[in-house]
Amino acid sequence: GLDSAMSFNATSTGTYYVAAGGYSDARSGTYSMAVTSSGSTPPTPGGSGASLDDLANFLTHGYWGGSSRSFNTSGSNQITVNISGLTAAGQQLARWAFEAWEAVANIDFVETLGSAQITFDDNDSGAYASSSTSGTTILSSEVNVSTAWLANSGTTIDSYSFSTYVHEIGHALGLGHQGDYNGNATYGVDETFSNDSWQVSIMSYFDQSENTTTNASRAALISTMMSDIVAIQNLYGAPGTSSATAGNTTWGANTTLSGYMADAMNALASSRNSSVNGNSVAFTIYDVDGYDILDLSYNSTNDRVDLNGEAFSDVSGLIGNLGIARGTLIEEFRAGSGNDTIVGNDAANRIYGNGGTDTIEGGTGYDTLYGGSGNDSLFGGSGRDSLRGDIGNDSLTGGTGDDTLYGGDGDDRLFGNTSLDTLYGGAGNDYISAGDGVDFVNGDAGNDTIHGRSGWDLLNGNDGNDSIYGSQGDDTLNGGGDDDWLSGGSAWDVLFGNDGNDTLYGNFGSDVQSGGAGNDQLFGGTGDDSLRGGDGNDTLQGNQGVDRLDGGAGDDLLRGGTLRDTFVFNTGYDNDEINDFEEHRDFLLLSTSLTGGETSAANILSTYGSVVNGQVVFDFGNGDVLTLSNLSTLSGLEDNINTF
C-alpha cells in the first residue's frame, strides 16, 4: 500500500539486501531506511529493580540496542504534527497527550495540515508508532491509534485510549518500551527490570497490579511517569519558563493549572466532569518553579503523602498512585479529613493536616505544620519549625532547630528537643518537655505538667493547677494562677508561685523562691536559698544551706533548717512563727519601720521581746507578732538581731 512502514529483525550476522519498487513499475516514489545496531545484550528478563536513571536510560538507549534517537530541536523546540487524519475524539486525545509531554520537556507541538514531523492516523487496526531515522536523528514519525481502539477503551482523560496516545507519542519522540518486549508481554517472563510497571513509566506493558513485586494499585495513567520524565528530558531538555507549571501552581482542589490537567484535577476534587469518567487514576507531578501547592483537602481517605522528589504516595484510597518527579519541589500540602501520614521535603513546607488523626513530619527546612482537628502527631525535623496542634489531643515534637510549638485546644504533649524552643500548651491539660537548649514555655489554660530539661529555661504555668520541673540549668518557674507545684531541679533557679496555694521546691542549687498570693509551701533544698512567702498563710523551710526566709504578709510558719539562716520580718507581716531558731547561728532581720527606728538589739529585746507560754514572742503592735516557738528565753539573742 501507499506510505507503508516495514520492519525486519535480523536473526544472524550476514549481508542483507533491500529491493524497493512500485508494483509493475507503474508508479514512482521514495523510501528511507534506518538501521539500529543490536549493541550489548539486554539485561536478563526478571532482573533486579532498577534505579530511575537506569530505567530512563533503557527508554532512550537500551531498547534501541544502545543508541538513542530524537528529533533535532537544537534550533527550535517546535515539532510539527498533523492530526487531520483523526476523528474529533482522536484529535482531542492527541492534543491532551501533546500537553502531557510539553509539561515535562522542552517541546512545543505545532499543528499543521501539511507535511509534518509526526503524522497521525486511525486507519489501521491497533495502536503503534514508527519512525524514520538517520543515525540518531528522527526524520519523521507516524502514529496510528484505530477508531476501534477508542470505541473499546474510551475517550476521556482517565481512559486507556489517552494513555495509549501518550505512549505512542513517546515512541514517536524516541522512547522505547520499559523492557525488551514489543506487541505483548507477560510479567514474570518478559520484564527486563523487576520494578517495570505503569507506576514508573507509561511506556511499560505492565499495569501496576500485573507487577507482583510492586505495591501499587491498578489505575489509569493521566500523565507521564517518573522514568518517562527523566528520559524525555535527557533527549530534549526540561521545559522552560513558558511551561504550564512555571510560577506558583496549585495541584488538586482549586487548581491553577490549565488544559487537560485542569479538567483532571477538578474531576478529582468533585468526582467527574465531561472530560473525566471517574476511574481510578495515577499521575506524577512535575513542576518547574514557584510556590507550589498540592491540595487534597477534598479526600476523606487515609492518605500517605511523601512530598520528596522520586517518592510515591497513597491517595484517594489507592496505593502508590501519586508520584513526585525528580527536581520537583512542593512547598505546601493540604490534607483531607482522613487519618493521614505526611512527610515534608527540603523546602520550607506549610502542611495542613485538617480533619482526622494525622502524622506530619516536616523534614528539613523551616516548616509550618498544622494538625487541624483530631489527635495529631507533628514532628518538625531539622530546621526552624512552627508546629500547631490545633483542636484535639496532639503530640508535637520540635526536633533540631529553634522551634515554636502551639498545642492548641486539647490535652497535648509538646517536646522541644534541642536548640532554643518556644512552647505554648494552649487550652487543656498539657504535658510539655522543653528539651535541651534555652527554652520558653507557656502552659496556658489547664492543669499542665512542664519539664525544662537541660538549658536555661523560662517556664510559665499560667492558668490551672500546674506542675513545673526546672530540671537542669538555671531556670525561672512561674506558677501563674491556681494551685501550682514547682520544682527547681539542679542549678540556681528562680521560682514564683504567684496566685493560688502553691508548693515550691528549690532542690539543688542556690534558689530564689516567691510564693505570691495564697497559702504557699516553700522548700529550699540544698544550697543557699532565698524564700519569700508573699501574701497568705505560708510555710517556708530552708533545709540545707545558708538560707534567707521572708514570710511576707499572713500567718506564716518558718523553719530554717541546717546552717546559718536569716529570718526577715516587717510591718504588715501579721503572726509568724519560727520553730527552729538557733541563737548561736541564726539571725533575725527586722525592719526599722517595725522597730520604730530602733537599731539596738538590746533595746529591741527589752521593748518588744517577752516570753509567753514558754515561747519567745516579739510583739511590734498593729497585729505584727513574731514567735520563736523553740526558744524559751531572751538570753543570748542580742547577737542574733539585725535591722534594715
Active site residues: 168
Which residue from 452, 432, 217, 460 is spatially nearest to 316, judged by alpha carbons? Answer: 217
**Which residues are CB-neighbours of 452 under 8 A, at least 6 positions away?**
434, 439, 441, 459, 468, 469, 470, 471, 472, 473, 475, 477, 489
Rounded to whole angstroms, how far apart are CA atoms 121 and 127? 10
Are the C-beta atoms of residues 69 and 136 closer than 8 Å to each other?
yes
Which residue shows C-alpha cell 504516595? Answer: 313
What are 505's strand-pairing partners?
487, 523
What are 311's strand-pairing partners?
324
* CA quadruple 307, 313, 314, 318: dihedral sign: positive
* CA quadruple 235, 241, 243, 249: dihedral sign: positive
What are 569's strand-pairing partners?
590
Are the C-beta atoms of residues 526 and 563 closer than 8 Å to each other?
no
**Which residues are CB-neighbours of 151 under 8 A, at least 6 positions away?**
none
3-state SS, residue 548: strand
Beta-carbon count within 10 A of 19 CB: 4
For the chain, what percentages of helix, strand and coil (3-state, to nearest 5) are there? 15, 25, 60
**Which residues are CB-neighbours of 77 under 8 A, at least 6 positions away?**
106, 107, 108, 236
**Which residues are CB-neighbours of 194 under 8 A, at least 6 positions away?**
46, 47, 48, 49, 211, 213
Name the DSSP class of 114. Answer: S
Rounded to whole angstroms, how far apart are CA atoms 460 and 466? 9
Are the C-beta atoms of residues 613 and 626 closer than 8 Å to each other?
no
